[in-house]
Amino acid sequence: MSKQHPDAQPRVISLIASATEILHGLGAGSLQVARSHECDYPASVHELPQLTRAKFKVHGATSAEIDRSVKGLLEQGLAVYEVDADRMRDLRPDIILTQDQCEVCAVSLADVEQALCNWTDSRARIVSLRPHTMDDVYTDIEAVAAAIGRPDTGKDLVATMQSRIADIARDVEGRERPKLGFVEWIEPPMSGGHWMPELITIAGGISPFGVSGHNSPWITWDEMATADPDILLVAPCGYDIATSLPEMEALRNNPLFMSLRAVREGRVCVADGNAFFNRPGPRLVESAEILAEILHPDVRTYGHLGEAYVVWPT
């Protein structure tokens, strides 16, 4: 690839959904020339070439089946995703956005480096994101903005997010904090780590599982029953509401789940975990709003009920 002219607009490939959302949040969506199979927001990105695919069955598979497939690949030392290196090279990218946080969640830095290993003529710059806290998310946004030559836009987006987050915290300040059990994966159950305990605190709740900045922890339904949260929020990573609801019905056969106080008292919500909570980008602000709305519905509503989350049973 020839050296990019200083005044030329960079050609960007995003191989992670959160980076695609960051790019568009910066008003730079027109720079994107390709995407991963998981990049689905905004809807316009569906028109872009798709350069990755999962090596396991996703559509129609239960959370338990997906878990077994992914763990089986990792135990064999195999990558979970495939990257179309030839097509990526043909697109002549200047910047490739990826992540080195989780080899299960999306295409990893190692996958991209493997795809580029034979590109002797490439000057493509890899920008790898690794967010674990909200501050890390802000840092990643500014890193993407700097890479595309729009550092001030990155600072403005971060400032806007921080202001909205501060408004949410003020709305619930001084109120009693309910205990919220957050379920990031259904079978086997996992709770939220990384930025999720932080968001729950901002929204006026207490997270009995997970430590801010640390990986999401595997838990058991016994542990959930011991914690016995006031409210249960189910938002599996990569699952929209329609995908989660059948698995919620299967949980009716789990006596530990049915014994939870939140279940008995009708305080269970199912949210779009594909769009919110699990994508470290601009929509984490909306994720905090959803949490505040669920935890403190008498304080302020943000209009997310029925769209971003539903009360279960529906």
79 vs 7, residue with greater confidence: 79
* Bridging pattern class, strands 12-14 and 95-99: parallel
270 vs 83, residue with greater confidence: 270
CB 127 within 8 A of CB 95: yes
End-to-end CA distance of the chain: 54
DSSP β-bridge partners for residue 97: 14, 127
Is residue 75 very low, low, confident or very high in pLDDT (cuts 50, 70, 90)? confident
**In Å, what is the CA distance from 173 to each residue of 7, 117, 270?**
48, 52, 25
CA distance 314 to 264: 15
Q: What is the mean pLDDT of residues 268-281?
A: 97
CA distance 170 to 142: 25
Q: Inform me whether the pLDDT recorded for 77 exceeds 70.
A: no
For 43-49, which contacts have Cβ atoms below 8 Å and span 24 or more sequence positions? 45/20, 49/87, 49/91
Q: What is the mean pLDDT of residues 287-302?
A: 96
Q: Which domains does the chain have, with CATH numbers?
A: 12-156 (3.40.50.1980), 175-312 (3.40.50.1980)
Task: Give the count of beta carbons closer than 10 Å to the beta carbon of residue 211.
Answer: 14
The C-alpha angle 221, 222, 224, rounded to 5 degrees, equals 60
CB 140 within 8 A of CB 280: yes
The C-alpha angle 115, 119, 121, rounded to 5 degrees, equals 155
Is residue 59 very low, low, confident or very high in pLDDT (cuts 50, 70, 90)? confident
